[in-house]
Amino acid sequence: MDQMKLVGHHHLSKLFHNKFIVILGDSIQRSVYKDIVLLLQHEKYLNNSQLKKKGEMSFEQDCLVEGGCLSQLHNGTSYREVRQYQSTHHLVRFYFVTRIFSDYMKSILRDFRHGLKPDLVIVNSCVWDISRHCLKWDENYKENLNKFFEELNEILPKESLVIWNLTMPLAETIKGGFLVPEISDKASHLRHDVVEANFYSKALANAYKLDVLDLHFHFRFSLHHRTRDGVHWNALAHRQITTLLTQHVADAWGVELPPLNANIPVANQLPVHHTVPRHEVCPPRNNFHRNPAPFMNSKFNPLPYWYENGPFQQSHFTRDSLPYECSHRPMPSNTHFGDGYKPCPYVMKNRHSRHYFTPYTRYRPGQQFSDEYYYQDVYF
């Protein structure tokens, strides 16, 4: 991660143009939501206060829809927090959940069933599930995962992309809001339980043909970016998560991103975090409210991103060119994806065609773009 290439504001804003994104999960998923919302507006990093704070009325022009400081801030399993960021061409929503399948999760799924269908769902729920709800978590967690994936597949259209994030590595000694004194005896072996839970959830998500992003694998050598509580991560780690998600989504949607920013200057942007020093890290083992008003107000720009900023000119495209999706792989050699373009085989699934505007795809002359054509099914 020290020499990583990161996505920027222009990558995220173009890729998520006219998309509805839902993020479900715990405090780490909330920070994932915050980093996405921040990067959609500014080329900045989260600071310590933004990472630690929960339930605030507003974060970077978003709004608190439900729970949080509107009710009572606490560390119980009944804590609720629903946040939403809405702009002219972006809609991002976050639900704080402490259990992957419950009465509250059923109410969230009802929102999807009867309301606006998300284009992208980023979800994880593990640490609270295996520590706060029952002594023997394994069978209960597996059953709830199965119910959640089954209902999600039934409710969402086949065009929706669902990414199951695997839980990130926990430290040997941890402390956090979920770790109340009543379950302090679980802290010593919770990191091993997370590995077991990740193994099962990954297999089950794959069985339901959902995408999997293995954050535990990606951050196994980046433990110095974990904060001192042994659970949460600093701003640089969360920007890397956003980068991984962006690259994954772009691949799933058949989009080639512009070159990522290498060696991005962060000295004046990245706040100082109280992270675990590198020398203290053990070496690795060898072996709206809920029914949002329509938010697409302005007319779409029919020209793709490449026409304005990219290296490709209009002469590179023919009149009969069509947008390519992941389901058409391998790509023909005359496309800008190149002969060597291959999907990532262990996390990606075949995608169905998406029937609305994506700003990176190719422009077909004579095609008329209008709000009514692309969003005729989402207005209430």
- pLDDT (tens digit, 9 = 90+) per residue, 231-287? 999 999 999 999 999 999 999 999 988 888 755 544 345 554 444 444 444 444 333
Q: What's the whole-number mean pLDDT along residues 284-292?
A: 39
> How many independent structural domains does the chain possess?
1
Per-residue pLDDT at 195? 95
Q: What's the whole-number mean pLDDT along residues 27-50?
A: 96
Q: Is the residue at 285 inside a domain? A: no
CATH code for position 61: 3.40.50.1110
Residue pair 243/194 in contact by the 8 Å Cβ criterion: no
pLDDT tens, position by position, 185-233: 777 789 999 999 999 999 999 999 999 999 999 999 999 999 999 999 9
Which residue segment(s) compose the domain that 57 sits in? 5-280
Percent of the chain clearing pLDDT 70 (strictly above): 66
Per-residue pLDDT at 186? 76
Per-residue pLDDT at 300? 30
Greater model confidence, 4 or 166: 166
Q: Is the residue at 145 inside a domain? A: yes
Per-residue pLDDT at 257? 86
Q: Is the residue at 313 inside a domain? A: no
Cβ-proximal residues to 204 (8 Å cutoff; 6+ apart), any chain: 142, 145, 146, 149
Please report which confidence band the pLDDT of residue 58 belongs to, taking 50, 70 and 90 as the band edges: very high
**Mean of pLDDT over the chain:** 75
Q: Is the residue at 292 inside a domain? A: no
Q: What's the whole-number mean pLDDT along residues 168-177?
A: 86
Residue pair 126/196 in contact by the 8 Å Cβ criterion: no
Residue 134: other Cβ atoms inside 10 A? 12
Tokens of 294: 């329509």
Residue 365, pLDDT > 60, answer no
pLDDT tens, position by position, 78-90: 999 999 999 999 9
Q: Is the residue at 376 inside a domain? A: no
Handedness of CA 263, 268, 270, 274 (dihedral sign): positive
Rounded Cα distance, 157 and 267, in Å = 43
Q: Is the residue at 328 inside a domain? A: no
- 3-state DSSP helix/strand/coil percent for the chain, to nearest 5? 35, 10, 50
Residue 336, pLDDT > 70, answer no
Per-residue pLDDT at 253? 95
Rounded Cα distance, 348 and 7, in Å = 20
Q: Is the residue at 201 inside a domain? A: yes
Torsion on CA atoms 362, 364, 367, 369, rounded to nearest 10: 10
Residue 316, pLDDT > 60, answer no
Handedness of CA 329, 330, 334, 336 (dihedral sign): positive
Query: Exposed, middle or buried by CB within 10 Å (0-12, 13-18, 19+), for 314?
Result: exposed
Per-residue pLDDT at 278? 40
Secondary structure element (H or E) that encloses residue 207, with its range: helix 190-207
Per-residue pLDDT at 258? 85
Greater model confidence, 374 or 235: 235
Residue 146, pLDDT > 90, answer yes
Greater model confidence, 362 or 240: 240
Per-residue pLDDT at 132? 84
3-state class (DSSP) for residue 62? coil
Report CA-CA distances (Å) from 108 to 22, 80, 95, 198, 253: 11, 12, 8, 23, 25
Greater model confidence, 326 or 193: 193
pLDDT tens, position by position, 101-110: 999 999 999 9
Greater model confidence, 52 or 313: 52
Tokens of 223: 């433990």
pLDDT tens, position by position, 154-163: 999 999 999 9
Q: Is the residue at 286 inside a domain? A: no
Please report which confidence band the pLDDT of residue 349 belongs to, taking 50, 70 and 90 as the band edges: low
3-state class (DSSP) for residue 344? coil
pTM higher than the cut 0.85: no
